[in-house]
Amino acid sequence: MGVKLKLLVNSETKKVVFAEAGKEFVDFLMGLMEIPLGSILRLWKQNSENRDGNSTLSLEKLYESIYLFDESYLQKSDLRNSVLDPKFSSVTKTSRLLKSSYSYSQSSRDEIDGYVKGAAYYMVKDDLSITPSSTISSINLFNIHGVKDISFLLEKTVEVDGTKALELVRTAFYSNTVLTDVFMSNDQSMASTSKNEGETN
């Protein structure tokens, strides 16, 4: 089961203004900073059947070349695995979106319940930058996106599972509109409701 994420979308531009997220999704985003690149690329390769099967990022091409690299040129035969499937020791207890697919060692960090406090909501911008939710921050983003009438805002609730999480990470390597690119590619299927002044009262 995935993590729910509520998107606030500008219906005129079909772009995500921001997402309202709970602790678990923000823990996932922060946890990405600790994950070795080789682990992420390995997961992309394992999930290639969910895409077109073609590698488009140079990093993926690099991964493939290391996978096929002649072992006789390596200092030690086991170095390939340590590069392509590295172990790390600081995955927190609640980083479950991708944790089950990684190789990691136990550490005292496993006793910590994620990164952020759970009794709050957080804003995730289209470029994945995060901040605690606040009215002022929302208004600032409305202005940045040219939203003058909140009746043009739509809500869309999406579920982020392991596959979708990998898509978010992959998209983040080349885009600064990650949420829009991942969740709004097929806006005709968007089951959303208009936000109007009556709903906010």
Q: Which tens digit of pLDDT belongs to each residue from 98-128?
A: 565 555 555 544 556 778 888 789 999 999 9
Q: In sequence order, what are the beta bridge partners of 131?
A: 123
- Looking at 111, 140, 171, which one is the last position of a domain? 111
Total domains in the chain come to: 2
SS3 94: coil
pTM comes to: 0.77
Q: Is the pLDDT of residue 57 over 50?
A: yes
* Summary mean pLDDT of the chain: 79
Domain ranges, residue 24: 3-30+118-200
Lowest pLDDT segment from 23-27, 37-41, 77-81, 131-135: 37-41
Report the pLDDT value the prediction gives residue 82, as an integer from 0 to 100.
86
User: Confidence band (pLDDT; 50, 70, 90) for 36?
Assistant: confident
Beta partners for residue 159, in sequence order: 4
What is the C-alpha separation between 152 and 150, in angstroms, rounded?
Answer: 5
Domain boundary among 111, 144, 178: 111
- pLDDT at residue 116 in the model: 87
* Strand (E) or helix (H) holding 155: strand 153-160
Checking if the pLDDT of 34 tops 90, the result is no
Residues 151 and 185 in one domain: yes
On whether both 157 and 138 belong to a single domain, the answer is yes
- Do 107 and 138 reside in the same domain of the chain? no
- Specify the pLDDT at position 130: 93
Q: Name the band, by pLDDT with cuts 50, 70 and 90, for residue 56.
A: low
pLDDT at 196 over 80: no
Q: Which of 111, 142, 166 corresponds to the end of one domain?
A: 111
**CB 70, CB 64: distance < 8 Å:** no
The model's pLDDT over 60-102, given as tens digits with 9 standing for 90+, comes to 888 888 999 998 988 988 889 888 888 766 555 546 665 655 5
